[in-house]
Amino acid sequence: MKIAMVGSGYVGLVSGACFADFGHDVVCIDKDASKIERLHAGIMPIYEPGLAELVDSNVRAGRLSFSTDLASSIKDAQAIFIAVGTPSRRGDGHADLSYVYAVAQEIAENLSNPAVIVTKSTVPVGTGDEVERIIRDGAPGLQFAVVSNPEFLREGAAIGDFKRPDRIVVGAEGEWERGVMTEVYRPLFLNKAPLLFTGRRSSELIKYAANAFLATKITFINEMADLCEKVGADVQDVARGIGLDNRIGSKFLHAGPGYGGSCFPKDTLALLKTAEDYASPVRIVEAVVRVNDSRKRAMGRKVIEAIAEAGGGEPRGKKIALLGLTFKPNTDDMRDAPSIAIVQALLDVGAELVAYDPEGMEAAAPLMPEVTMVKSAYEAVTGADAVVLVTEWDAFRGIDLERVGQLVNSRVLVDLRNVYDPAEVRAAGWHYSSVGRK
Ligand code: UGA
């Protein structure tokens, strides 16, 4: 099957490469000529484990190509995916749909063969109706259908998530487009991934509801973690104790510094806007957004308290080493990373900051110019008055804490991801604090 993927960002590129790997003939399109040029040279625009290899092998096999020319690339395509960005609109938090609509317009101007237009971008309820209207008005008489097919990929695990999904959601109103989408996903279908057909509006809402629910789960356990600290309980035990109940489930109950990234913050806000537009408030999600926002900065206060409790006094002039900056491991993405608020909170009290992140420093540097970026975790901790684990990269899990202990000025460790064993670390002479544990 011939597939055109409009938008070669995170979602478009991963999905395009995976579809090609299933044996489809895929062209990934992007307006950004330098991105396409780099892709031709095998240079990925993002860091995602396994992506470069997957792209390379499918390009070699002749199943995957790249282009800046939408008009010629959508010729003969049976499915045209729209996978462009839908950032938060400046000022009001609504999803900015201008890129999606511009692509719909361009498709309308250039499409001549029957095709299913698939919205993969995260778009508010009703966007499919508007895409359909734009194409119908621009290309009257053309056989086409617009379907919704949200993605559930996690950065850092996107290829695995694409190839072994819990479910594939397709919002399609007619038989013909359902048939085309079944063909698109046949290889996964054979792997028994449930293909769930719904109406288009339900599918659009499923994406937001899923992200809002996961954000709620995280925020719930984060507040439980705060309570655990106050009452002398252990949030890891609480999470396990509730997660073993299948109705709750054990995933996304890991307490931390608050969720970040390009999806949860943006999508929860956009859902609030939709709810507002329809005068149907989602108060739980409103609370989640507020609690999560204030949590990130509160993590800075946690570091300040840890220094004081260890007898280090005021944070002014103290050297604090940050291990990890990205919003989570295995990505170079800094969007809405908790580290940004933590850095600000610590700079505000006059601390001196040094950081190391395996992949994120290039993206982080312009966001936090006052922070000194160094080339290794050991370099970062040298002479530090406190070490803060912000992002749980594997490299930090296995760090040699004895060596770190010899390099630091003072053995204060704040573990915002509960990576280390409190008893072990304390036995090694550290003043250790983590999230939701005694
Ligand atoms: C999220 C969803 O998990 C994907 O299913 C969805 O497709 C994607 O958004 C999207 O809408 O495109 P992603 O943002 O890549 O994926 O990252 P997650 O692994 O979900 O983590 C999000 C944030 O929650 C991170 O800051 C992470 O550290 C935090 N988190 C996650 C926790 O604090 N605790 C947990 O137990 C899990």
Cβ–ligand 1 contact at 388 (below 6 Å): no
If you average pLDDT over residues 97-107, what whole number do you get? 97
Pocket probe mutation, ligand 1, options 259, 296, 331, 332, max atoms within 8 Å of Cβ: 259
254 Cα nearest atom in ligand 1: 36
Q: What are phi and psi of 63, to 5 degrees?
A: -100, -10
Count of beta carbons in the 10 Å neighbourhood of residue 160: 13
Q: Residues of the chain with pLDDT > 70: what percent?
A: 100
pLDDT at residue 267 greater than cutoff 80: yes
Q: Which helix (H) or strand (E) holds 378?
A: helix 377-381
Strands (DSSP E) along 298-348, which ranges? 319-323
Which tokens in the block code for residue 140?
């009257």
Compute the distance between CA of residue 56 and CA of residue 183 in angstroms, rounded to an integer. Answer: 24
In this structure, the residue with its CA closest to atom 34 of ligand 1 is 254
Q: Which helix (H) or strand (E) holds 354?
A: strand 352-356
Query: Which residues are catalytically annotated?
Result: 263
* Residue pointed to by tokens 């420093």: 361
For residue range 144-174, what is the model confidence (pLDDT) as tens digits?
Answer: 999 999 999 999 999 999 999 999 999 999 9
Count of beta carbons in the 10 Å neighbourhood of residue 168: 21
Q: What are phi and psi of 354, to 5 degrees?
A: -130, 140
Residue-range domain boundaries for the chain: 2-198, 208-289, 295-433
Cβ–ligand 1 contact at 263 (below 6 Å): yes
pLDDT at 192: 75
Distances from the Cα of 318 to the Cα of 13, 44, 276, 304, 311, angstroms: 43, 39, 45, 10, 12
Q: What are phi and psi of 119, to 5 degrees?
A: -85, 110
Compute the distance between CA of residue 54 and CA of residue 36 in angstroms, rounded to an integer. Answer: 16
Cβ–ligand 1 contact at 211 (below 6 Å): yes
pLDDT at 438: 77
**Separation of CA 153 and ligand 1 centre (Å):** 9
pLDDT at 193: 81
**Separation of CA 159 and ligand 1 centre (Å):** 15
Say yes or no: domain 208-289 is CATH 1.10.1040.10: yes
Task: Write down the architecture of domain 2-198 according to CATH.
Answer: 3-Layer(aba) Sandwich (3.40)
CA dihedral (88, 94, 99, 104) positive or negative: positive
pTM over 0.85: yes
Helices 283-309 and 264-277 pack at an angle, to 10 degrees, of 150
Q: Which fold has domain 295-433?
A: Rossmann fold (3.40.50)
For residue range 305-344, what is the model confidence (pLDDT) as tens digits?
Answer: 999 999 999 999 999 999 999 999 999 999 999 999 999 9
Cβ–ligand 1 contact at 260 (below 6 Å): yes
2-198 against 295-433: fold identical: yes
* Residue pointed to by tokens 């317009």: 105
**Separation of CA 211 and ligand 1 centre (Å):** 8
Count of beta carbons in the 10 Å neighbourhood of residue 380: 25
DSSP assignment of 184-231: HTHHHHHTT--EEEE-HHHHHHHHHHHHHHHHHHHHHHHHHHHHHHHH
In this structure, the residue with its CA closest to atom 6 of ligand 1 is 152
Which tokens in the block code for residue 174?
């007619």
In this structure, the residue with its CA closest to atom 11 of ligand 1 is 263
Compute the distance between CA of residue 423 and CA of residue 255 in angstroms, rounded to an integer. Answer: 19
pLDDT at residue 189 greater than cutoff 80: no
If you average pLDDT over residues 14-30, what whole number do you get? 97
For residue range 379-399, what is the model confidence (pLDDT) as tens digits?
Answer: 999 999 999 999 999 999 999
For residue range 197-244, what is the model confidence (pLDDT) as tens digits?
Answer: 999 999 999 999 999 999 999 999 999 999 999 999 999 999 999 999
Q: Please name the amino acid found at residue 299.
A: M
Cβ–ligand 1 contact at 332 (below 6 Å): no
Q: Which residues of 297-323 are buried (b: 16+ CB within 10 A; e: fewer)?
A: bbbbebbbebbeebebeebeebbbbbb
In three-state secondary structure terms, 352 is strand
Cβ–ligand 1 contact at 256 (below 6 Å): yes
Helices 200-231 and 235-243 pack at an angle, to 10 degrees, of 140
If you average pLDDT over residues 105-133, what whole number do you get? 96
Confidence of residue 43 (pLDDT cuts 50, 70, 90): very high
Cβ–ligand 1 contact at 7 (below 6 Å): no
Cα angle value 256/155/79 (rounded, 5°): 145
**Separation of CA 264 and ligand 1 centre (Å):** 7
Pocket probe mutation, ligand 1, options 211, 223, 253, max atoms within 8 Å of Cβ: 211
